[in-house]
Amino acid sequence: MTVPATQAQIARRVGISQQAVSYVLGNHSSRSRIRVRPEVRRKVLRVARRLGYRPNRLAQAVRKRRSGLIGVFSFHGASEVGARRTFFAAKCIREAGYHLLATDAAWYARGVEDALHAMLDARVEGILIATPPEWFSVSLVRRTRDMGVPMVGLSGASLYGVPQVRADVRQGMALLVRHLLELGHRHLVLAMRLRSSSRSSANWTMRERLEGFRDAVREFRLRAPTALHPEPVASVLEVPPPADAWPSYQCGVEALRAVLKGGDAPDVLLCSNDDWAVGALRACVDRGLSVPDEMAVTGFDGTSAGAFCTPRLTSVLQPVEEMARRGVDLLLRQIGGEKLPPSERLLKLPCVLMVRESCGTPACDRPIVAESKPPLSPSLNLQTSSAVSL
């Protein structure tokens, strides 16, 4: 095993003092009186590279009382949306001059406490928790805060006393449903999974999407029943996880199977995420069901796969880059000693709608921003047939 090179070894090779080497390698204060000639500096750096020198960040953290490290603790696993949020957060952290210490609980599911303690042992100056689950330990949050390490949640469940940045998925779902109703669709089925295991983070975001669906259904002004569907129907289909739910495209296949079990296809199958929608589109091909002519299909989250389906997928895009930027900003301000005002303890950023061919309208291929809600007014009764009451 190779022993890491030390500053003393570099000093002996170059023929200068260890204090001068420390100055060149950045372990000095602004008040240092040491001066090193440019040619000596270059030699120190060349020897350090040749010997494979790595700074002892733990020692630096103790000496300077700052480590230059920010921890990113995520729970999204292979989720594209979660991975993109973390990517943009990491980019913002590096641009701010910090180094990154990251872990994902999907890799280390039984060691959440150990992983968080490892970050604290490394003297991280702040922790960004991406997609925290509802079962995340309150005691861990309190312990971290008591150590003076600020935290920020990025999407996911609310954590006790932790500022958070979320996508307004309720607003996003309502925007999608209003668009579908404006196109003339009246028989809508939302496929989702509400009842999940106690160690799942799906509950919060699914509840928000359900509420957005309900909002649009209740608010939309229906002028008259259509000839094809005398009584409008909006329903929610809860899809149990299949035996092999990896990848999650299979859930979309199961959703379509359950929808068609009742007879005719609805006007629209709204899938609670894009993976399910991609699976549903594939199942439609296998069954000879034309999309969108016989049934429209929509997704949610705005993943890259939706742009490459046939037909291309209408979906709701989460503002992942802006979420990451705002989340890192909140964390850096706390690291700097700022106390956040109540108005910034929970930030909800609006989603946008990407209209493509799968919903039954020509693609505009540009995001549609949230519009004001249609005025509430007397409307026809909107029938519901659902395992989950609207």
Question: CATH number for the domain including 111?
Answer: 3.40.50.2300
Is residue 60 in a domain?
A: no
Averaged pLDDT for residues 304-318: 94
Same domain, 218 and 125: no
What are the residues facing 352 on neighbouring strands?
Answer: 317
Residue 1 counted as domain residue: no
Q: Are residues 228 and 369 in the same domain?
A: yes
With a CB cutoff of 8 Å and minimum separation 6, the contacts of 127 are 70, 71, 72, 73, 116, 119, 144, 149, 150, 151, 152, 331
d(CA 352, CA 172): 6
* Same structural domain, 374 and 259: yes
Is there a single domain that holds both residue 93 and residue 177? Answer: no
- In the DSSP assignment, the letter for residue 312 is P
Read off the CATH number of the domain in which 20 is found: 1.10.260
Q: 210 and 249, same structural domain?
A: yes
* pTM to 2 decimal places: 0.77
Percent of the chain with pLDDT over 70: 78
Could you tell me if residue 390 is inside a domain? no
Interval 60-89: pLDDT, tens: 555 555 678 999 988 877 788 888 999 999
Q: Which of 115-129, 167-181, 208-222, 366-380 has the highest mean pLDDT?
A: 167-181
Specify whether 50 is located in the same domain as 186. Answer: no
Shared domain check, 333 and 274: no
Of the two residues 320 and 136, the one the predictor is more confident about is 320
Q: How far apart are CA 259 and CA 386, in angstroms?
A: 11
Q: Which amino acid is at 154?
A: L
Any domain includes 140: yes
Confidence band (pLDDT; 50, 70, 90) for 337? very high
pLDDT-derived band at 24, boundaries 50, 70, 90? confident
- Does residue 121 form part of some domain? yes
User: What are the Cα distances from residue 310, in Å, to 40, 68, 252, 265?
Assistant: 63, 47, 15, 19
Under 8 Å CB-to-CB from 335, ≥6 apart: which residues? Answer: 70, 125, 126, 150
| Mean pLDDT of the residues in the chain | 82
End-to-end CA distance of the chain: 64
Domain membership flag for residue 61: no
Looking at the structure, tell me whether residues 132 and 212 fall in a common domain. no
Together in a domain, 304 and 178:
yes
| 376 in the same domain as 245 | yes
Whether residue 2 is contained in a domain is answered as no
Q: Does pLDDT of 125 surpass 70?
A: yes
User: How many independent structural domains does the chain possess?
Assistant: 3
- Asked if residue 190 belongs to a domain, the reply is yes
Q: Are residues 251 and 362 in the same domain?
A: yes
Same domain, 129 and 17: no
Print the domain residue range for 14: 7-55
Alpha-helical runs (H) found in 186-338:
202-219, 249-261, 274-287, 320-335
